[in-house]
Amino acid sequence: MTGLQTYCKETRSDTISILLHLQNIILRMIAKGTSLEPTCGALCREVERILPEVVCSVLTVDPAGLLHPLAGPSLPGVYSQALDGLLIGPLAGSCGTAAYLKTDVTVTDIETDVRWAEHKYLALPHGLRACWSSPICDTDGRAIATFAFYYRDTRGPTAFEREVVANCVYLTQIAIDRHERVLEHERRAFTDALTGCPNRAAYHVALSKLAGAPAGSWALFVLDLDNLKIVNDTFGHHAGDRLLQIASHRISATVSQGQTFRVGGDEFAVILESTDALDDLGRTTAKILEALSIPADCGGHIVAPRATIGGAPYSQVDSTVECVRQNADFALYHAKETVRGGFVQYWAGLRSTMTRRMDAIRDLSSALQEDRIEAYYQPIFRLDTREIVGLEALCRMRVGDDIISAASFHEGTADAQVATSLTARMMALVAADLRRWLDLGIPFQHVGINVSSADLSGGAVERVLTAAFKSEGVPLDHVILEITETVYMGRGDQVIQEAIRALRAIGIRVALDDFGTGFASLTHLLTVPVDIIKIDKMFVDHLELDGVSGTIVEGLIRTAKKMGIRIVAEGIETEEQVDQLRAIGCVLGQGYIFSPAVDRDAATALLLEHGQRASRRADTTKSTRG
């Protein structure tokens, strides 16, 4: 029985019932969120149930005008595959022509119709003799799909078939529209609005898809922009936003065969699957850093983006995606501490090193939160009179009944936030102890407080110090900030040295600690002077072994004296060392021979017994200029 005969026998109410039933099935699937392909597949199967003599097909049309099979459950797979990528046009079969002309195209005989001349060899072997196709257009009038009936006889559509197809075109249009809205929602959900890069959510999805990939088939970079905060603080967030956009574009362009994600405020990730990029990760990162370093216009301000990169390849050892992600994070963390502005590739052993460091950061953070940080004090003595002229405040952590020295948890200060919090706590403790000593009338000159590179580069040390001492009513001339030589000459030395100048400009004295362990020289002190130099214990230890250390220290003392810089010898342990230091002109020193670091009460007792008398303080200040 033909479709026409069926239509003639059905009453109008039966026709409406059939079409409503079809609509209900498909609209229910759309409402439940069934994806596009199974929805259109169900539509085709239901139509073929109603019209068993037709073969139903839905093709999509991409923005380039290429056809792609979406649904055709009764079409041979090889035929559907042959249509994939076919360009629409005036002679592109029924569907390609309908999409091109945006109108129905009926071909009653594929073998003889000119529009099928170049494609009939695809259809005829499968018994497909005729094809009627209808375009499906979006709201802008662009053809986005086609809905087609194939016939095994040479004929055109019946009136009933036209009603069915009219409904099918409408339902397919609804399904495609919903699909596009879902894709747009997903695009927004997985895209960073500022840079246009895939975001953190997309990053996690992409990583999850790599599970089970062959060893060596991919690698991961994580990258931090080093100067985003500075740009934001100096030029405003509009300049920072532009910096992020430029950096994103440059990274993506450099690793065009990889995926670039913005996963945080100033953090990006790159998944590499290109063989060339994987062959030499160092070379790939060098290209990224080189591309980033070109000065750029960021909202009217010229900025050279700077970045630090950590990377990890997926190897047989690293059996999970999560392991690779952690390895890359460890490498970045290590790079930021050791080669900021460069690249570190994960190596065996780095995980344990970084885990230990993160444990130290966690322990130190807990001690700060639980108020288990205490200030201990090691006195600085005059070598001749054995009077205390000052103290150095040293950090200690209380763990149960034990007191842990700073060396045991020093790795915890690798985190800048923890380091600055620790310094703030020490300043508050020292200020409170100084207030107590002043109220007791105890004689002392100053207390040295150690500060880190994070304290100086962050720019808050002056504010924190001033607030702590003001809160206790203690004058700032009772404090000296101690900076190690490695900090003085370390990464970002221009920022550090500028901070030192700013502190001295407002009257805060600065001591250079551990002098002789790094690369500082007296010539550096011409441009960035300090008030005190503390000679490292290494020189003191060698005074008894040879004359070289003595000569160096003696020359340093003479030169420093001319520059108005005081000298303190650290780590003195024997009377012979005291005698040798005095012989070469050293006046001040600290070490175990005098006293180890002690708690506040013991320090109070030492000050009461050995504190320098007020009548001698002026003389000491004069005699120790050098």
Task: Please give the positions annotated as active site.
Answer: 266
Amino acid at 270: V
Torsional class of 299: left (φ above 0), alpha (ψ -120 to 50), beta (otherwise): left
User: What's the rounded Cα separation, in Å, for the pair 111 and 127?
Assistant: 11
Q: Given the structure tokens 């550090």, which residue do they identify?
A: 496
Q: Which letter, b or e, does each residue of 267-278 get, where b requires 16 or more Cβ atoms within 10 Å of its Cβ?
A: bbbbbbeeeebb
User: What's the rounded Cα separation, in Å, for the pair 160 and 531?
Assistant: 99
Amino acid at 244: L
User: What's the rounded Cα separation, in Å, for the pair 85 and 83?
Assistant: 6
Strands (DSSP E) found in 218-283: 219-225, 259-262, 267-272
611 CB-contact burial (10 Å; exposed 0-12 / middle 13-18 / buried 19+)? buried
- State whether the Cα torsion 518-519-522-527 is positive or negative: negative
User: What's the rounded Cα separation, in Å, for the pair 456 and 470?
Assistant: 20
DSSP state of 349: T
User: What's the rounded Cα separation, in Å, for the pair 45 and 265?
Assistant: 49
Bridge partner list, 588: 382, 568
Bridge partner list, 220: 271, 312
Q: Which letter, b or e, does each residue of 42-76 get, where b requires 16 or more Cβ atoms within 10 Å of its Cβ?
A: bbbebbbebbebbbbbbbbbeeebbbebbbbeebb
| Contact predicate 94/105, CB 8 Å | yes
User: What's the rounded Cα separation, in Å, for the pair 427 and 474?
Assistant: 11
User: What's the rounded Cα separation, in Å, for the pair 371 and 368?
Assistant: 5
544 token code pair: 């008894």
Q: Given the structure tokens 């650290």, which residue do they identify?
A: 570
Amino acid at 81: Q
12's CB contacts (< 8 A; 6+ apart) are: none
95 token code pair: 């569907």
How far are the Cα atoms of 152, 228, 238, 244, 262 from residue 232, in angstroms, in the given order? 69, 6, 8, 11, 18
Residue 339 has phi, psi (to 5 degrees) of -135, 50
User: What's the rounded Cα separation, in Å, for the pair 22 and 42?
Assistant: 10
Strands 446-450 and 479-484, bridge-based pairing? parallel
Counting DSSP H helices and E strands in the chain, the numbers are 26, 21
Q: Which of 148, 103, 104 minimizes the C-alpha distance to 130?
A: 148
